[in-house]
Amino acid sequence: MSHLLADTGIIAGRYVRQTLASRLGVLFGLLQPLLFLVFFGPLLRDIDLGGAGDSWQTLVPGLLVQLGLFSSAFAGFTLLIEKQHGVVERMRVTPVSRLALLLGRLVRDVLQLFAQSLLLVLVGVAFGLRTPVAGVAVGFVLVGVLAASLASLSYALAMRVGSPQEFAPVINSLNLPAVLLSGILLPMALAPDWLDTVSHFVPFRYVVDAVRGAFMGHYGDGTLALGALVALALAAFSLGLGTRVFKKAGA
Amino acid sequence: MPAAIHTAGLTRTFRAQNRTVEAVRGIDLTVEQGEILGFLGPNGAGKTTTLRMLTTLLAPTSGTATVAGHDLIADPRGVRKRIGYVAQTGGVDPAVSVREELTTQARLYRLTKAQAARRTEELAHDLDLAGLLERPCRALSGGQRRRLDIAMALTHEPSVLFLDEPTTGLDPGSRADLWQLVRRLREQRGMTVFLTTHYLDEADALADRLVVVDEGRVAAQGTSAQLKKEYGGSVRASLQDAFIALTGREARRETERAPVAV
């Protein structure tokens, strides 16, 4: 325990330096949401999206969640590659805190996501997004918690499976339905009743709604509180599972 | 002087698709301090599984072991502080620089930043990597890569060094260099070296004593001369003769390899 913070810092440092050395990778992850913003966003401008706020306040929060979902769901890939090079085992033979091996990676992932999110929001502002700075900050925190949870699950899965061939299908088959059912591109307010009902079983939906609320400056109507609660519950579950997998030897 | 490694009844079973695979069925062995031990056996005999247990990567199913003065089950952290391990695959990221790997490794052993920087220079000097520190690991030759893998394992001056097939894939010159390095570590630092190998000439030339495992148990142990005499028929027999007499059925091995390298 006494070493957990220091070890997390060391591990985070290693991966932050790696990420900074390959800035292209950071931009690459941003490509898809940026394309949606630039080529899809303008189509929504004059359409009634069924909620408060304008189309940019609806789309940009969705794209932020999408960015968090995709980048963190595939985070485990980097761990798989490191496993194949023996890096993970080599580190596990040192006295380093097992939990720090997970937390250090999550710190890098969240920092990278914040940098990408900031770029995305700035491009959004250039296109016409107007939103309170406090709302953006609250939105970033929500997306950060969500991404850390998912990355934690992704690392736990990568720790357990042997190859990318086992890993990718699981992620792909979960990710796309999650994106569609959480109202990321268009709000679920447009959905027929059955689809709206189904989407209430997808936890990301509440986070999307909460980030949209924050971007409109609505902090007190319960949407934000519910989204934050869901994000925290997801984080507690995912980090708990990730911790168990990382602490267990032989993974 | 207490033994560097002592195990009693060490076993490990894996559960795979409704059946149980007994990868290690009971290993009893003792390695003295400063000894170079060759750990031999056919594929699937349980060598790597045993090594992974002794290096804290895998919890034993049953049995006890003391490694470098610490109880393997009760105090794996104590063991980790005193051992170094070089896996078959090595353990460095090809995209990362040699300096980054050595320095971060030292930090994982809780050296301060200044100490870690100093230790990196020392190791690079000792293992002939000094001119290579800024290169990415992928740019190293096979022999250089192996020296880096070993440097990583020597960061904290361990008392026991585990090497899993350290010379596989190396050219003859690099192999000879690596043998020299292992002998030097023992002579200068009194390090205990536990190494697995498939090269019987390597075991013959480098190890003080051999332990042969087969089907998850110790099949024989002794010096190379003792094994040749007892199992090969005479001291002039080759170690290969002794090895085949002991484990036999090499053809069958290939078709019945147990899925143990988990």
Residue of B108, B154, B165, B194 best to disrupt the A interface, most CBs of A under 10 A: B108
Q: Looking at chain B, which residue has its C-alpha nearest residue A100? A: B108
State which H helix or E strand residue A154 sits in: helix A133-160
Tell me: the pLDDT tens digits for A185-203? Answer: 888 888 899 999 999 999 9
Judging by DSSP bridges, how do beta strands B83-86 and B160-164 pair with one another?
parallel
How far apart CA A19 and CA A17 sit, in angstroms, is 5
**CA distances, A131 to each of A40, A68, A122, A128, B100 (Å):** 19, 20, 11, 10, 42
Chain B closest-CA separation from residue A3 CA (Å)? 9
Q: Is B262 exposed, middle or buried (0-12, 13-18, 19+ CB in 10 A)?
A: middle
Would you say the ipTM is above 0.90? no
pTM of the model: 0.90
Which CATH number is B11's domain given?
A: 3.40.50.300
CB-CB neighbours of B58 under 10 Å: 21
pLDDT at B15 over 80: yes
A94 lies within 8 A of chain B by CB: yes
Sign of CA dihedral B75, B81, B83, B89: positive
Quote the DSSP letter at residue A36: I
Residues of chain B numbered 148-177 and touching chain A (CB < 8 Å): 152
How far out from the chain centre does Cα A20 lie? 19
Nearest Cα residue to B253 out of B46, B5, B27, B31: B46
B81 lies within 8 A of chain A by CB: yes
**Does the beta-carbon distance from A86 to B90 stay under 8 Å?**
yes
B150: amino acid identity, one letter = I
Domain that includes residue B176, residue range: 5-261
Tell me: the pLDDT tens digits for B60-100? Answer: 999 999 999 999 999 999 999 999 999 989 999 999 999 99
Amino acid A208: pLDDT = 94
How far apart CA B231 and CA B242 sit, in angstroms, is 5
**Residue segments in chain A with a per-residue pLDDT below the cut of 50:** 251
Domains: count for chain B: 1
